[in-house]
Each structure stands twice: as structure tokens, then as C-alpha cells.
Amino acid sequence: MISLSKKVLLSVGGVILNPNVELLFTGFDLRTFPLNFKMTPKNQKEAEMIRDIVTTFKKASLPTLGAAPANTIANIFKGEDGDAEANNNRNFIGVPNLCIIEFMKGPDQHPYLTQFKPCAITSVQVGYTPDGQYSTYSDGSPVATQLALAFTETKLVYSNEISYGGPSY
């Protein structure tokens, strides 16, 4: 049975849609990509920095509990900004943070590496055995930490945004 839109195309223009195009094209997907880091501290201060980096990415990838919508009428009249701790409202879940990822060469965007639109962190995996064996310093900090992150862009990239000869999406 031919749909109404196909009947209109057939009767008005004498053409029909190519059904193969509909089979091949189902829509656009947002770009996803991984970034992997192996971090090896030289001293206790660097070990603490690595622990803080891992904690920051874990927190940024998760929703918050108790966040109130920032622009509700009640919050506007109360002068509140949607801060979860100030509102202590367990009826709302705040969305995870977005990241801006840029590859740099000096003060400018790197001309050979792909640039990205704002991204959501979709996966954080931490490994404390990147060399195949668990090992720590005397204070308990890992000798090496592997941080594997996965991201998904929140906006589509269009062909007219791709450029030759410089930084590009």
C-alpha cells in the first residue's frame, strides 16, 4: 500500500521516493570518542593531584541529587539559584556537567587535531594496574593510574563546519 505522501509525489510530480535511501539512512548520531590517560606520580603531591583528577571526572559524570530547577517561579521569588545544598530538595535530579575539550598547540587550537563541541562524559573507568600488576608506594598511593574517559558531543557537527588547513571539528 502506498502512503499518502508517496501518492501525492506520484500524482503531482510523476516521481516516487527511492526506497533504498530510506533503508540506508536512519538519521544522524552524535559523535562519541574516548580519551585515555596513564598517570604516574613522582611524589606524594602528584599522587594527590591524580586522585583529585580521578575524583573530579567521576563527580562530573554523575547527576546530582537534590538540585532544584534554577528557573522555577518559586526560586526566582526566593532569590535562590538552584543550589542543591541550599534547597535540599530530593524531588529533583540535576544533569551531569558538560565539558569543553580542546587540543592546544601553545596558546592556539591545534591545527592537526580534531576539535569537539560541548560533550557529556558517558563513561569513567579507573584502573590501578595499567602495567598488569597492582603496586603502591608506602603511603598507599598507586604507582600508576589508568583513566579511560568516554565522551558524547551534545550537538551535531555539520559539513560546513569542517575546514581545511587549520583547527576544525
Same structural domain, 74 and 150: no
Looking at residues 97-122, what average pLDDT do you find?
Answer: 94
Q: Does residue 5 register a pLDDT over 80?
A: no
Quick one: pLDDT band at residue 84, thresholds 50, 70, 90?
Answer: very low
Looking at residues 138-162, what average pLDDT do you find?
Answer: 95
| Coil, strand or helix at 106 | coil
The residues, ordered by sequence, that sit 6+ positions from 47 with a Cβ below 8 Å of its Cβ are: 41, 137, 139, 141, 142
Looking at residues 82-91, what average pLDDT do you find?
Answer: 58
Quick one: pLDDT band at residue 18, thresholds 50, 70, 90?
Answer: low
Same structural domain, 74 and 110: no
Contact 104, 119 (CB under 8 A): no
> Percent of the chain at pLDDT above 70?
71
Same structural domain, 125 and 145: yes
Same structural domain, 76 and 134: no
Looking at 10-14, 37-41, 85-89, which range is the least confident one? 85-89
Quick one: pLDDT band at residue 12, thresholds 50, 70, 90?
Answer: low
Task: Tell me if 6 is assigned to some domain.
Answer: no
- What does R_g of the chain's alpha carbons equal in angstroms? 24
| Residue whose entry in the numeric block shows the C-alpha cell 575539550 | 101
Range of the domain at 88: 65-95
Q: Does residue 3 register a pLDDT over 90?
A: no
What pTM does this model have? Answer: 0.72
Looking at residues 127-135, what average pLDDT do you find?
Answer: 93
Looking at residues 125-130, what average pLDDT do you find?
Answer: 95
In 40-160 the beta strands, taken as DSSP E runs, fall at: 64-65, 93-94, 98-99, 104-105, 108-109, 119-127, 145-153
Same structural domain, 87 and 152: no
Same structural domain, 147 and 70: no
* Total count of domains within the chain: 2
> Percent of the chain at pLDDT above 90?
57
Pick the closest to residue 83 from 70, 97, 96 (CA basis). 70
Distances 125 to 54, 69, 160 between C-alpha atoms, Å: 9, 30, 34
Contact 114, 121 (CB under 8 A): no
Same structural domain, 74 and 121: no
Same structural domain, 103 and 50: yes
